[in-house]
Structure 1
Amino acid sequence: METRELAYFVAVAEELHFGRAAQRLGMAQPPLSRAIQQLERRMGVTLLERTSRGVTLTAAGAVFLVESHKALDAVEAAVRRAQRAGQEEPRLLVAMKPDGDAGLLDRILPGYRADPDAVEVEVVVGGIGEQARMLRDGRVDLAFLHAPHDDLSGFDTELLLEQDQVAMLARGHRLADRAALVLADLDGEPFPRWPGSDVRGPEVRDPGQLLQLVALGQVVAVVPESARRHVRADVACVPVLDAPRTGVLLAWPDRTRSRAVAAFVRASTAVAEAGRVAADR
């Protein structure tokens, strides 16, 4: 099977329209239709249902769409990582969302730079929910991810920090002066829609946007406790006693053999362990 065939299928599966998919791919519709039919014959399953009302994915097609994305990402990642490895001055690219490291990176970098396998580090800051995809398609070498929110499949991970959660509220909110809350206190409140979620609320892609929506009273949000470090004067953070704890993890592709990645993991675990020892005292 060729990556070209996967790309054809993904375009049709996402557009659910052969004409739009052909336009997206820059090709005519008849050869695209023939390519998908040939793919289905070779696989022995129907991937797409075609009716007069349109195109829909079968159960097999839905599974194949997920796996096709993984395969195309893996090919793209192989190219990008090989290109970086061939640079005269190698770099280690680390992805995080704003404050997604919970303040750990400043402590990790000195230990990493002292390692003989260290290379120059470039931090790539993206929006909420983008880091796992950047790691999966090879744009970065490591990423700070968050459990249970991020998809960790295909990654090796190291848990660096666990955190309680707080409710982020407008300063004038009826609950803003409470010493603590439980999740039931927030029933009926408007919540943001994180990328990939099905909550009916305004979609939030970066922390600055979230703070603005909270300050305006348009949403409340339950977020890790480290968010307190950058909260604005017009936003209050109140502990939520029964909210599940969240984890800050360092992730990298499984089967990685990079010595620079291994050195960064060593420095990160040393900082995490020092933090746990200090917390236990």
Structure 2
Amino acid sequence: MELRTLRYFVAVAEELHFGRAAARLYMSQPPLSRAIRRLEADVGAVLLHRSAAGVTLTPAGTVLLDEARTLLDRADRIRVRVAVAAGAATITVGILGDGSDPGAMRLAAAYRRRHPGVEVRVRETDLTDPTCGLRAGLVDVALTRGPFEETGLTVRELRADPVGAVLRADDPLARRDRLRLADLAGRRWFQFPGGTDPLWRSYWNGGEPREGPVVRAVQECLQAVLWNGTVGMSPLGHEPPEELIVVPLADMAPSRVVVAWKAGDVNPLIRSFVQIATAAYRP
């Protein structure tokens, strides 16, 4: 019974869907299915019921899920303790966006509890670099939002937030319960500086070329709306200043909260960070 196979099983058991689990593990579905069948043969029990309606855990699968989580957690702790003993007890985390996000706060608390001997350095970045310095080698792991160019990176989604248009409270559209992007045609939107990741820029401009003031930080975005009547976008649940309103956008894809790291980086502190982040953001 290999740790890798147990990680596969935990992913399927948590997602209850082979396709989603395969995407989470960055592998194709057929080898994942074969690995689970081998695991069932190894333990001598059916772990998952598969049907057209989806995947459910058997009683044996429920027991293994609990035991596998404990075992994998122990294995990760061992890796981190060895890294600490070897003198590699520092991790630099890049953060973009709202530091008061409950998920980020749960993550910080859980990481401190799990690894009290690890020094966590935090580098906060503005909106011009959604990878928070990851590509430049300034951070080990990034807690950020997509979309952005993912070449050379491994990216795991933690949560998806619906978004809305940020408008001044006296804007006629602010009285609507819901808007569509077509309702905002012809309006000025805030812009990011030249050289900003094209996927990132396109998402926050609603997928269309726009004109408007150039901003670098969240507060600059809000001030552009307040002073100039510019249109912005924000995840729902982020309370704007009293003079501003966020109206849900019906035809915008959610904003993905993600954790990202360099592809192939086997630093155990990063692996543990990703594991704890996944649990901290789980509904």
Please give the TM-score of this superposition, normalised by the length of structure 1: 0.61
Q: Which runs of 4+ in 1 moved over 4 A?
A: none
* Residue equivalent to 1:225: 236
* Residue equivalent to 1:209: 220
CA distance in 2, matches of 1:131, 1:117: 28
SS at match of 2:144: strand
**Structure 1 residue 133: Cα displacement:** 5.9
**Structure 1 residue 145: Cα displacement:** 2.8
Across the aligned residues of Structure 1 and Structure 2, the Cα RMSD in angstroms comes to: 2.5
CA distance in 1, matches of 2:99, 2:216: 13
CA distance in 1, matches of 2:188, 2:111: 42
One-letter identity of the residue aligned with 2:226 = A
CA contact (8 A) 2:156 2:260 kept: yes
CA contact (8 A) 1:97 1:125 kept: yes
CA distance in 2, matches of 1:142, 1:251: 6
**Structure 1 residue 106: Cα displacement:** 0.4
| Aligned mate of 2:253, from 244, 261, 276 | 244
* Residue equivalent to 2:89: 90
CA distance in 2, matches of 1:133, 1:267: 19
**Structure 1 residue 117: Cα displacement:** 8.6
CA contact (8 A) 1:131 1:144 kept: no
CA distance in 1, matches of 2:90, 2:210: 38
Correspondence list, 1:1-281, <5 A: 90-99=89-98, 102-116=101-115, 119-132=118-131, 134-148=133-147, 150-195=148-193, 196=196, 197=201, 199-226=210-237, 228-229=238-239, 231-273=240-282, 275=283
**Structure 1 residue 124: Cα displacement:** 1.1
**Structure 1 residue 131: Cα displacement:** 4.1
Unaligned runs of 5+ in 2: 1-83, 202-208
CA distance in 1, matches of 2:150, 2:213: 26
**Matched positions, count:** 187
One-letter identity of the residue aligned with 1:92 = I
Deviation larger for 105-114 or 153-162: 105-114
**Structure 1 residue 218: Cα displacement:** 3.4
**Structure 1 residue 176: Cα displacement:** 1.1
CA distance in 2, matches of 1:167, 1:116: 40
In the superposition, relative to structure 1, how do residues 133 and 165 fare at CA in structure 2: closer, same or farther (>3 Å)? closer
CA distance in 2, matches of 1:184, 1:177: 16
CA contact (8 A) 2:124 2:132 kept: no
One-letter identity of the residue aligned with 2:159 = L
Structure with bigger gyration radius: 1
CA distance in 1, matches of 2:137, 2:88: 18
In the superposition, relative to structure 1, how do residues 171 and 115 fare at CA in structure 2: closer, same or farther (>3 Å)? same
SS at match of 1:135: coil
* Residue equivalent to 1:24: none
CA contact (8 A) 2:96 2:145 kept: no
CA contact (8 A) 1:117 1:259 kept: no
One-letter identity of the residue aligned with 1:262 = R
**Structure 1 residue 88: Cα displacement:** 5.7
CA contact (8 A) 1:168 1:222 kept: yes
